[in-house]
A and B are shown apart, each in its own frame.
Chain A
Amino acid sequence: MNRLEGLPTLRIDPARRIGFTYKGYTRHGVAGDSVATALYAEGVRIFSRSMKYRRPRGLFSLDGICANTFLTIGKMPNMAAETAALREAMTVEEQNVYFTARNDPLAFLDRFDRFMPAGFYYESMHKPAALWPAAAEVVRRAAGLGQIDSGFRFSGVCDEIYPATDVCVIGGGAAGMSAALAAAERGVRVILLEARHWLGGAFDYRSQPEEGDRPLYARSAALAEKIAANPLVRVYTGAPMVGGYADNLVTAVAEGKEDDPFDYRYMEIRAKSVVVATGTRERPLIFEDNDRPGVMLPDCALRLARTYGILPGREAVFSVGHDFGLEAAVALADLGLPVRAVADFRESGHDAGLVDRLAARNIRFLPGWAAYRASGVKSVTGVRLAACKSGESRSFACDLLVAAAGLSPVAEPLVLFCGSPEADGSTGFFLPKTYPPGVFAGGSILGFSDPRSRIDSGEKAGIRAAGFCGGDSSQEAPEKGGAGDLSPPPNAAPVWLGHPGRESKRFVCFDEDVTVKHIRQAISRGFNVPELIKRFSAAGTGPGQGGISGHNLPLLVHAIQSESAGCGPSDTAGNTGYRPTRVRPPVRPVLLAAYAGTGREMTKRTPAHDLQAEEGAVFRRAGVWQRARYFSQDLDVSEEVLAVRTNVGMLDASTLGCFRIFGPDALSALQRVYAGDMGRIREGRVKYAAMCNHDGCVIDDGVVIRTGENDYMFTTSTGRAGETIEWIRYHTRYENLAYHLVNLTDGTAVINLAGPRARDVLEKITDADVSGGALPFGGWMDFALTGGIPVRCMRLGFVGELSFELNIPASYMAHVWEMLRRAGREFGIRSIGVEAQNVLRLEKGHVILGQESEQRTNLIDLGLDFLWARDKTIRPVGSDALRQAENDPGRLKLSGIRMKDPAVVPPDGSVIIPADGPEKRIVGYVATIRKSLSPGLEGDVLGMALVEAPWAREGTTLAIYDGESPAGSDAAFSYAVIVRMPFYDPEGKRMRM
């Protein structure tokens, strides 16, 4: 189709053609088109079939307020073609059609609408019960929208920004731009959000001249120029607001333009105040077959022509109830669209100038008339208009029926901040009455219709918003949000809800095929308010989320109720106690990918990360860290384990938490959070300690040393390091304790040197005396390594061999790592990973929190009650719960198990049932189980399990379920016996070497 040329309001560039495919055929649009306008220009009129009745649907609104033009674009279903910008090589397909949208064999369902009343599925789609699993599949294929290709992978880029601003203006029309400029003039920062890809709003396509004034589009263009030149205003177009939250937090999702580095961008705007200037949309007119392709809103028809250069039809009839409808008829007639008649259900009150212009163009004007029925099967071929009072009617042929019942505010963004709207007696709009602090509104959303007052209202909102942020004060310093003291003129137009007639084809909601008849059916069954009717009839629950039905539903409900109450349909909205249904974010459809965001994996690394990578380390995530889990590609740790048992190995343990606590009350703080008595730490000795929560459950374990008077150092597990300081401060918050906490985790590198040759290696890199006499098991010492590198060395026994835990400043770590490797080369030193450490400590029966414990495992269950000092003066967190649990017979006990058949290694976490005896229920689970690799244990499969006390006695046989086989089969179970721990070196001689 040839586009209209020479219009100053065009937002397309006809010289730049964009090729795309539709249903497999190549089509063309132009730069600036949305997918819907490009298809419309190519002659597409039937875009889809409705969900229930398979009725043909076409372009109605251009703002994506219904699912009529939902298409599958690039394999992504349910894309709103009206708002999706056309891009080169897009592949566009119809969806939810059999054969094509033009010829849908299921269209016969439309004739059986009386068998599908409101809520019919609640009553019919469950019996006979045996039929429904199969029937559901059939129904599912006929209903629903779009199809997900399970092999599809979203390849777009979604990023996120979190700007802060003083004033956030939502809506880039004349009122919004005026608000933004007014606020910026007062020295505050402004963010302006606009859903379309250009500023201008409702003025953008209107050439309506005011007396002696510039046309509206020129006025909005001038405002946009001022906005662009203002350094305090940041503008985001193609960025509709999707959510509004407490304290004026605004979220928006922007669609990337061609040169943007993202496809979708999530924006979370921390604003001090908000101005909502989102304007109005048109309220659909209700008449028979008002959903036919060829019926569209006046705004849509005018924008097709003036914004996109597409004449929307060959001959048109208008049925409107507002002056803009008349304006659109005049403007389209001037662009070459033959207009056969303009009906306006208002008897009087029309803009005289527009009426004159209709007469001047010989366009038949019918005040007090409205559309009665659209004719045509697949699209409009004509319309019957009828007089509202007398019922006299006339038919007209047309292929375009431009119809609307008036304006509705785009109130959703305002409602998100303010709460439920109420009927405004003078404007007939549903708007919130009270605003929270910092929220303001301006423009046509409040009911202002003439351009000057829209701009003034926006300006006023901007001034007040700036004042709220502490901008240059004006005469009025607003403390609260609100609509200001400007008042729009009362709207005297009657609310027209349709001629009496066949209500089964008068659509209230397009997406869910809900008609006026369904609304009556719902009301007759006792669903008497819009919220209930919405749920029962499904009106407004489709992708449009009330875009079509939102304003009409409460008006219709009130009218129907008033009929039955015998007082006639209400003339103005002011009498209704009903309101539109609740609005929740997002108020526009948002791809899940946009909310998921970049999904970049961010982890921390230790200073020896690269060195370990060079050695062939296989890393795994541990909390926020990357840790080397294996040092062999085949994930076999036998060599690492043997190295530690017979030789020497080195492990990077830097991720463990390391803290210093000092001050006069440091000990008191430690006593509060640790279960043991920290007052009994001996000079030069390491104390193993555990922290519990109020339930007595172990949340952390580590070691504590006393480094000076009122000065301690303690370690935590990797996962708890981040929260430890908060934890300690929390549990001492009522007392004014004097202590300081320093998190040394990131600044302290830790290398565990372990194995019978460990001392030999260490002695090569230090002059200090590290013999067993000077540095015994369980002791610690500060000394220096070659080159003066300070080290705090602790002798612990986690893996059960002679080991030295070297704590050095992180900046030395890489150097010391290499020092150790060089020194250890003659002994064949090996780097070992976390999995090898896992096996080694398992053989010693040492617990790792989170593996041998879970949320409800307490200190006693783990056999660690020796860590609890019952009679401490300062009662530690958890002591009351431990006291209560002490004699509780129903608890799980940590026990060692050995598999009877060493060929079977059940997965960690397998559940346990008794092998003997009558009770066959789950009595525990396997925490960790591995094939042992250490000398003396080769071939044994050993593990730790948590088992209920009666079955935790040494020698008891347990059955372990493999988690997959059917429970009755023999293959499901393997057998283990409870054995004493530690499995390896029970007397602990090796670690005391």
Chain B
Amino acid sequence: MSLLIQCPLCGKRNGYEFRYGGEDKGAYPEGRELSAAKWYDYVHGSACTEGVVKEWWCHRLGCGTWFTIYRDTRVNRQVQEPQESARQGNGRTSGAGEIP
């Protein structure tokens, strides 16, 4: 991963220092038991947006912090938080009780 990622503690670092943590889907949905469909949607379903997505990264070879960035998947670069709501950019349909 040649792109540069801005770690909130360490600054702009080489992409190799980080581990990818998936799209930001919010915290694990509340509810005593999750139905199979909701569980699948959260665990395995991905929006795969063409555009700016919000996602998690861990500074594995540095401070170890988990943080989110916005990345434009069309050019594979980190971008600043877009003006409009990031959630719309992600294009996800929420399950019941999804914590934004």
Q: Which residues of A contact B (CB under 8 A)?
A: 245-247, 249, 270, 436, 694-695, 725-726, 729-730, 733-735, 875, 880-881, 883-884
Residues of B within 8 A of A729 (CB): 58, 64-66
Minimum CB–CB distance from A741 to chain B (whole Å) comes to 9
A245 to B3, CA, bound (A): 8
CB of B3 within 8 A of CB of A247, answer yes
Residues of A within 8 A of B28 (CB): 875
Additional pairs, 4, CB under 8 Å, beyond known A246-B75, A246-B76: A245-B2, A726-B58, A729-B65, A734-B26
A754 to B19, CA, bound (A): 39
Residues of A within 8 A of B86 (CB): none
Chain B positions 60 through 89: 1 when the CB is less than 8 Å from some CB of chain A, otherwise 0: 100011100000000111000000000000
Knowing A245-B2, A270-B14, A734-B26, the reply to whether A726 touches B43 (Cβ < 8 A) is no
A249 to B5, CA, bound (A): 13
CB of B34 within 8 A of CB of A726, answer no
Most-contacted residue by chain A among B21, B27, B28 (CB, 10 A): B28
Complex partner residue of A726 from B4, B64, B76, B99, CB under 8 angstroms? B64
5 tightest A-B CB contacts, nearest first:
A245-B2, A249-B2, A734-B27, A246-B3, A247-B4
Query: Which residues B28-56 have CB closer than 8 A to chain A?
Result: 28, 33-34, 36, 39, 43, 56
Minimum CB–CB distance from A904 to chain B (whole Å) comes to 41
CB of B3 within 8 A of CB of A726, answer no
Most-contacted residue by chain B among A246, A249, A735, A883 (CB, 10 A): A246
Complex partner residue of A880 from B3, B34, B60, B64, CB under 8 angstroms? B34
Residues of A within 8 A of B34 (CB): 880
Number of interface residues of B (CB under 8 A): 26
Residue of B nearest to A881 (CB): B39
Q: Which residues of B contact A (CB under 8 A)?
A: 1-4, 14-15, 19, 21, 26-28, 33-34, 36, 39, 43, 56, 58, 60, 64-66, 75-77, 99
A245 to B2, CA, bound (A): 6
CB of A247 within 8 A of CB of B77, answer yes
A730 to B67, CA, bound (A): 10
Most-contacted residue by chain B among A249, A436, A694, A733 (CB, 10 A): A733
CB of A884 within 8 A of CB of B36, answer yes
Residues of A within 8 A of B3 (CB): 246-247
CB of A734 within 8 A of CB of B19, answer no
CB of A883 within 8 A of CB of B56, answer no
Residues of B within 8 A of A733 (CB): 56, 66
Residues of B within 8 A of A884 (CB): 36, 39
A725 to B65, CA, bound (A): 10
Residues of B within 8 A of A270 (CB): 14
Residue of A nearest to B22 (CB): A730
Residues of A within 8 A of B99 (CB): 734
Minimum CB–CB distance from B97 to chain A (whole Å) comes to 13
Minimum CB–CB distance from A749 to chain B (whole Å) comes to 24
Residue of A nearest to B60 (CB): A726
A–B pairs, 29, beta carbons within 8 Å: A245-B2, A246-B1, A246-B2, A246-B3, A246-B4, A246-B15, A246-B77, A247-B3, A247-B4, A247-B15, A436-B75, A694-B39, A694-B43, A695-B43, A725-B64, A726-B64, A726-B66, A729-B65, A729-B66, A730-B21, A730-B56, A730-B58, A734-B26, A734-B27, A735-B27, A880-B34, A880-B39, A881-B39, A884-B39
Residues of B within 8 A of A247 (CB): 2-4, 15, 77
Residues of A within 8 A of B75 (CB): 246, 436
Minimum CB–CB distance from B20 to chain A (whole Å) comes to 11
A883 to B33, CA, bound (A): 8
A734 to B34, CA, bound (A): 19
Minimum CB–CB distance from A876 to chain B (whole Å) comes to 10
Residue of B nearest to A245 (CB): B2
A270 to B4, CA, bound (A): 10
A246 to B72, CA, bound (A): 12
A249 to B12, CA, bound (A): 14
Minimum CB–CB distance from A63 to chain B (whole Å) comes to 27
A270 to B14, CA, bound (A): 8
A730 to B19, CA, bound (A): 11
Residues of B within 8 A of A883 (CB): 33
Residues of A within 8 A of B19 (CB): 726
Minimum CB–CB distance from A321 to chain B (whole Å) comes to 38
CB of B33 within 8 A of CB of A730, answer no
Residue of B nearest to A877 (CB): B28
A484 to B84, CA, bound (A): 33
A726 to B64, CA, bound (A): 7
Residue of A nearest to B39 (CB): A880
A210 to B8, CA, bound (A): 55
Residues of A within 8 A of B2 (CB): 245-247, 249
Residue of A nearest to B36 (CB): A884
Residues of A within 8 A of B39 (CB): 694, 880-881, 884
Residues of A within 8 A of B15 (CB): 246-247
A725 to B3, CA, bound (A): 24
Minimum CB–CB distance from A274 to chain B (whole Å) comes to 12
Residues of A within 8 A of B76 (CB): 246
Residues of A within 8 A of B77 (CB): 246-247
Minimum CB–CB distance from A531 to chain B (whole Å) comes to 20
Residue of A nearest to B65 (CB): A729
Most-contacted residue by chain A among B21, B66, B76 (CB, 10 A): B66
Minimum CB–CB distance from A266 to chain B (whole Å) comes to 14
Minimum CB–CB distance from B59 to chain A (whole Å) comes to 10
Residue of A nearest to B5 (CB): A247
A884 to B40, CA, bound (A): 11
Residue of A nearest to B66 (CB): A733
Residue of A nearest to B34 (CB): A880
Residue of B nearest to A884 (CB): B36
Most-contacted residue by chain A among B2, B21, B56, B64 (CB, 10 A): B2
Residue of B nearest to A726 (CB): B58
Residues of A within 8 A of B33 (CB): 880, 883
A880 to B33, CA, bound (A): 6
Minimum CB–CB distance from A699 to chain B (whole Å) comes to 14
Residues of B within 8 A of A245 (CB): 2
Residue of A nearest to B1 (CB): A246
Minimum CB–CB distance from B57 to chain A (whole Å) comes to 11
Residues of B within 8 A of A436 (CB): 75
A876 to B76, CA, bound (A): 34
A734 to B1, CA, bound (A): 26
Minimum CB–CB distance from A855 to chain B (whole Å) comes to 14
Residues of B within 8 A of A881 (CB): 39, 43
Residue of B nearest to A251 (CB): B2
Residue of B nearest to A731 (CB): B28
Minimum CB–CB distance from B9 to chain A (whole Å) comes to 13
Residue of A nearest to B4 (CB): A247
A734 to B14, CA, bound (A): 25
Residues of A within 8 A of B1 (CB): 246
Minimum CB–CB distance from B92 to chain A (whole Å) comes to 16
Minimum CB–CB distance from A432 to chain B (whole Å) comes to 14
A135 to B19, CA, bound (A): 50
A880 to B35, CA, bound (A): 8
Residues of A within 8 A of B36 (CB): 884
Residues of B within 8 A of A695 (CB): 43
Minimum CB–CB distance from A571 to chain B (whole Å) comes to 36
A883 to B99, CA, bound (A): 22
A734 to B66, CA, bound (A): 10
Residues of B within 8 A of A725 (CB): 64
Residue of B nearest to A722 (CB): B60
CB of B64 within 8 A of CB of A730, answer no
Minimum CB–CB distance from B34 to chain A (whole Å) comes to 5
Residues of B within 8 A of A694 (CB): 39, 43
Minimum CB–CB distance from A124 to chain B (whole Å) comes to 41
Residue of B nearest to A672 (CB): B28
A783 to B82, CA, bound (A): 58
A246 to B4, CA, bound (A): 8
A247 to B64, CA, bound (A): 23
Minimum CB–CB distance from B21 to chain A (whole Å) comes to 6
Minimum CB–CB distance from A163 to chain B (whole Å) comes to 12
A881 to B44, CA, bound (A): 12
Minimum CB–CB distance from B53 to chain A (whole Å) comes to 16
